[in-house]
Amino acid sequence: MKRSHLIAVGAALVLSLLLPAVVRTDYALQVLFRIYLFAALGLAWNLVGGYAGQLSLGHAAYFGAGAYGLALGSGRMGMPVPVGVLMGIVAAMAFALLIGGVSFRLRGPYFALATIAFAEILRLITKNLPDLTGGDVGLQVPALFTGQVNRSFFWAAVVLAAAAFAITVWISNSRFGYYLMAIREDEDTALSVGIGAARTKLAALLISAALTALGGALYASIFLFIVPDQVLALDVSNEIAIVAMLGGAGTVIGPMVGSVVLETASEVFKNTFQEAHQLIFGGLLIVVVLFLPEGIVGAIGALLARKGSRGGRLAAPPASASAAR
């Protein structure tokens, strides 16, 4: 990463941490919390869906594991909060190991279908174990922070997004990242040069699951109560995936851009159109996907590249003139 980029990222992080000094209302802080939280979740998904090219539509399983790990470990079992968070991370990685270990050895859409099925099975199991998980009644979640709660959760989301961003930058510039991109472009060729495709994709999924579980624990704790249809729903998986794809899957800043656009537009539409906001918002998302298949960042990059090549052609001397010289 260039020095100028590091300075820009550092400045953005400092400004983000200082936002609560300007933003005073709890509502605005909660919206900002969602923006940074889903930026982190989108970056986590991007490791698998963007760099490895594996469409995961079941990240709600890891999100829910983080939420229930905190609720069960620290709430019901009385363990310290860090232990409860760690329980959620371990559970999410165990689920990732299970699903990835089986489905990554298959080709085609099997991984996507397996992720959906696993998340739905986990949701139904959670609903039907009321003695353990509370079932549809739900579970109380211990508070991670006290005092200025909204500010603390906002700062935690900023730190999580910064950590996910740093991991993404490191991976994208490492041999591991090059392996993931090689698998995405042509898995057969990657296998032929000695890249262990299943092992590499599984490693990316484990990292992604751990980050997603942290996001789930944060989300659960800010609401202090969870039910299966809240943290294990297919809607959660879809929102995480859409954030990355809208901004630009396979890019470093795409998920952050996607989160800003998606979460801000969602709140604006919700307040403006009320019950009709889902229909209008869904229609606009379809338009964006149809006309911006590479996401916002990808479309801007392609536009700048076209302008650059056009400018280069205009600046180049004619072939005959250069030959005459």
pLDDT tens per residue across span 159-179: 999 999 999 999 999 999 999
Other CB atoms closer than 10 Å to residue 261's CB: what's the count? 16
Given CA atoms 112, 116, 121, 123 in this order, what sign does their dihedral have? Answer: positive
Other CB atoms closer than 10 Å to residue 294's CB: what's the count? 16
Are 93 and 211 within 8 A, CB to CB? no
Give 78: exposed, middle or buried? Use CB within 10 Å, 0-12, 13-18, 19+: exposed
Beta bridge partners of 226: 139
> What residues contact 51, with CB distance under 8 A and at least 6 apart?
171, 172, 177, 180, 181, 184, 204, 250
- Please give the chain's pLDDT, 325 residues, in tens: 667 667 888 888 889 889 888 988 899 999 999 999 999 999 999 999 999 999 999 999 999 999 999 999 998 888 999 999 999 999 999 999 999 988 887 776 888 899 999 999 999 999 999 999 999 999 999 999 988 899 999 999 999 999 999 999 999 999 999 999 999 999 999 999 999 999 999 999 999 999 999 999 999 999 999 999 999 999 899 999 999 999 999 999 999 999 999 899 888 888 887 766 667 667 766 777 777 778 888 888 888 888 776 665 555 555 444 444 4
| Closest to 31 measured CA to CA, from 244, 233, 270, 295 | 270
- For residue 96, give Cα distances in angstroms to 114, 115, 118, 178, 253: 11, 9, 10, 22, 25
Q: In whole angstroms, what separates CA 291 from the centre of its chain?
A: 22
Are 217 and 69 within 8 A, CB to CB? yes
Six-digit token string for 186: 């042509």
pLDDT tens column, 249-288: 999 999 999 999 989 988 888 888 776 666 766 776 677 7
- For residue 110, give Cα distances in angstroms to 6, 100, 102, 116, 238: 39, 11, 10, 10, 17
- For residue 314, give Cα distances in angstroms to 106, 301, 317: 49, 20, 8
pTM above 0.95, yes or no: no
| CATH assignment, 25-233 | 1.10.3470.10
Q: Where are the alpha helices (DSSP H) in the chain?
A: 3-18, 26-46, 60-70, 81-103, 110-127, 130-133, 149-172, 175-185, 187-192, 197-223, 228-231, 234-247, 254-273, 277-291, 295-315, 319-324
Given CA atoms 76, 82, 84, 85 in this order, what sign does their dihedral have? Answer: positive
Six-digit token string for 89: 């991370």
| Amino acid type, 224 | L
